[in-house]
Structure formats: C-alpha cells, structure tokens
Amino acid sequence: MSSSRIAFLFPGQGSQHVGMGKDFYNRYPFAREVYEQANDILGWDIAKLSFEGPKEKLTLTSNTQPAIMVHSYIACTLLVENGVNPSLAMGHSLGEYSALLAAGAMDFPTALCLVKERGRFMHSTVPESGGAMAALLGLDREVVEAICREASGVVEVANYNAPGQIVISGEQDAVEAAVSLAKDRGVRKAVMLPVGAPFHSSLLEEAGRRMREVLESVSFSELTIPVYSNVTSQPVIDSEEARELLKKQVRAAVRWEDSVRSAERENISAFIEVGPGRVLSGLNKRIVREVPVFNVEDSESLEKTLSKVAGLS
C-alpha cells in the first residue's frame, strides 16, 4: 500500500444515522465480534439500535456516543488491516476518544467504557435552565467571540469548525440573544441546533468533573502516532498529556479548524474520515481545499478509499 502520509479524522456527535455499521456487520466477522463485545460491555443491544433505530433513541447523547465510536473503531481496523496506517489522527469532540484508540493509548473495552460514561454524564448534567447551541455561518471568530461577551448570560464558543462556521453554546436565552446580535452583525445564516445539552460550555462543568474522576482511574499507554488535541489544536504523543487534555475537553471549545491546519503542515497526502457520515469531510474541504479527503463508513466507501490511497504518490 502507499507510503503516503495519511491523517485519520474521527467524527463526533451529529454524524450518527440509523443503519450505520450494518453493512460492516453483514460483511465482516470481525465487525460482528466487535458489536457482540460492545453489547456485553454496555449491557444493551447497540447493534440493534444502530441498525434499526428508532432515530430519537439513537440520537440520545448516552446512546449516540458509544454507537459512533464502535462504528469508527471497526472502520479504522479495516483500513489498517488493508495496509492503510495513519501517520497522525484527530477526532471531533467525542471522536478524540476514537483517535486515541487508533493511536494505541487504550484498548477497545477501555475506550468504550470511557465513552459510555462520557455520554451518560453529558446527558444527565444538563442545567435546569436548559441549554442550547447554534451554528453561526459567515462571521469571523473575533466577531463571534465579541458577540458572546456582549450577550447577557452564559454563551460561549463551542466549536471553531471551519472558516466562517462557528458554533456557540450556553443558556437558551443567552444563545438566542447572541443569535439576534449575530443577525445585526450580518451573519449569513444562524441555525439553532437540535441538541440535548450545551456541549463544550462551562454549563457542563459537572460532567467534566465526573469525567476527570473516571479518567484518573484508567491507565493510558504511550501513543504510537500523534493525536491532535481539541483543546490545544497541537499534537500529543505523551500518555499523561493526552489524559490531562481529555479532562478539559468536555467543557473546552473544539479547535477543529486550527487542528486541521496544524496537521496539514506535516505534509499530509490525504485525510480519511473514519466512521459515520461526511461532516468532517465537508469541513476539511473548506479548511484545506488542496488536500484530498476520503471517507470510510461501509464496504463500498472502504474499497473506493483503498483504491484512491493506493494511487497517491
């Protein structure tokens, strides 16, 4: 297989869809074994929920997060088994756990247990006042940051996703006020997101505290490849640093655009989105248009990506 430098991208919450993973399950004995192992670890049938829904149940944070990670793990393993090894990895929010799994920081049962707890904590610690998130399109980050400071109440930048695409998070009233301010500043589009919690904001401090306690109880191995941190957008190879950054990740902003730009400077030949959907592929095309991005979410996209990677110089 090609000796090109490949970066693996692992999706986060929002990439899930009913039917994800079913093709892998039907075609590969390994995938069936992973789903059976995951069912035992979680104590519920993640395969049935992933393949059949209902959508409303799959979308719940406590269900979505392990479902996406299981799918990504299978896709990643199939790529590696076919000779495509990443030179570095990164994951969007939840996806950072999949990236660390790919880098050998932990084994699959450990990663799944961590994600199970993460999803549970995030689902159960929504503030009484509720919370909201909104995507703002067409504004510079400095403008969005100023809007968050001006709006009364708790509203903060949650995701720096791509040029002109920033997500804010916080109290319902404060997010709505920020959206109104954004319209006054010429935002191209403002979309309230259908989420169950104000992710990556200080309102999830309690979930972050509980996650820090869980992370303290787990041993991390040294990483075999760099993983770019959501918190700093910089590469991490040291196991303790990886753990410390994960402790901050639940409530810190996701610096995705900066992470992708940092990775591009490492002479990356191609990015591969590993797991359900093509959300990150779309973002990447806006961040680094000159570097190709492929995706692997089923056997058809796996074969197509293997062919394209083999053709890279």
The residue from 195, 222, 248 where one domain ends is 195
Structural domain boundaries, residue 243:
6-125+203-310
Residue 268 placed within a domain:
yes
Residue 41 placed within a domain:
yes
> In terms of domains, do 89 and 152 share one?
no
> In terms of domains, do 75 and 41 share one?
yes
Count of beta carbons in the 10 Å neighbourhood of residue 237: 15
Catalytic residue status for 93: yes
The residue from 177, 195, 213 where one domain ends is 195
pLDDT of amino acid 194: 81
> In terms of domains, do 98 and 209 share one?
yes
Report d(CA 104, CA 95) in Å as an integer.
14
Catalytic residue status for 200: yes
Set 62, 169, 200, 259: catalytic member: 200
Residue 34 placed within a domain:
yes
Among 68-82, 118-132, 236-250, the range scoring the smallest mean pLDDT is: 118-132
Rounded to an integer, the average pLDDT of 204-228 is 95
Four-residue CA torsion sign, 26, 32, 38, 44: positive
Residue 301 placed within a domain:
yes
> In terms of domains, do 11 and 53 share one?
yes
> In terms of domains, do 115 and 159 share one?
no
Residue 291 placed within a domain:
yes
Q: How confident is the model at residue 25 (pLDDT cuts 50, 70, 90)?
A: very high
Query: Which is nearest to 159 in space by CA: 256, 228, 69, 88?
Result: 256
> In terms of domains, do 147 and 270 share one?
no
pLDDT value at 33 more than 50? yes
- Is the separation of the CB atoms in 67 and 75 below 8 Å? no
How much of the chain exceeds pLDDT 70, in percent?
Answer: 98
pLDDT of amino acid 1: 47
Q: Where are the alpha helices (DSSP H) in 19-107?
A: 22-27, 29-42, 46-52, 55-58, 61-81, 95-102
- Is the separation of the CB atoms in 227 and 88 below 8 Å? yes
pLDDT of amino acid 129: 65
Residue 138 placed within a domain:
yes
Question: Which residues on neighbouring strands pair with residue 166, listed in sequence order?
Answer: 136, 160
pLDDT of amino acid 130: 73
The residue from 171, 195, 219 where one domain ends is 195
pLDDT of amino acid 313: 59
Report d(CA 26, CA 96) in Å as an integer.
27
Report the CATH number at residue 208: 3.40.366.10
Set 50, 62, 72, 93: catalytic member: 93
pLDDT of amino acid 127: 64
Q: What is the mean pLDDT of the chain?
A: 95
> In terms of domains, do 152 and 83 share one?
no
> In terms of domains, do 298 and 272 share one?
yes
- Is the separation of the CB atoms in 2 and 309 below 8 Å? yes
> In terms of domains, do 98 and 147 share one?
no
> In terms of domains, do 24 and 99 share one?
yes
Report d(CA 91, CA 113) in Å as an integer.
17
Span 2-22, pLDDT tens digits: 468 999 999 999 999 999 999
> In terms of domains, do 226 and 188 share one?
no
Span 227-250, pLDDT tens digits: 999 999 999 999 999 999 999 999
- Is the separation of the CB atoms in 77 and 20 below 8 Å? no
pTM exceeds cut of 0.85: yes
Residue 1 placed within a domain:
no
Report the CATH number at residue 183: 3.30.70.250
pLDDT of amino acid 157: 98
pLDDT value at 36 more than 70? yes
pLDDT value at 185 more than 50? yes
Rounded to an integer, the average pLDDT of 181-204 is 93
Looking at the structure of the chain, the number of domains it has is 2
Residue 223 placed within a domain:
yes
Span 87-106, pLDDT tens digits: 999 999 999 999 999 999 99
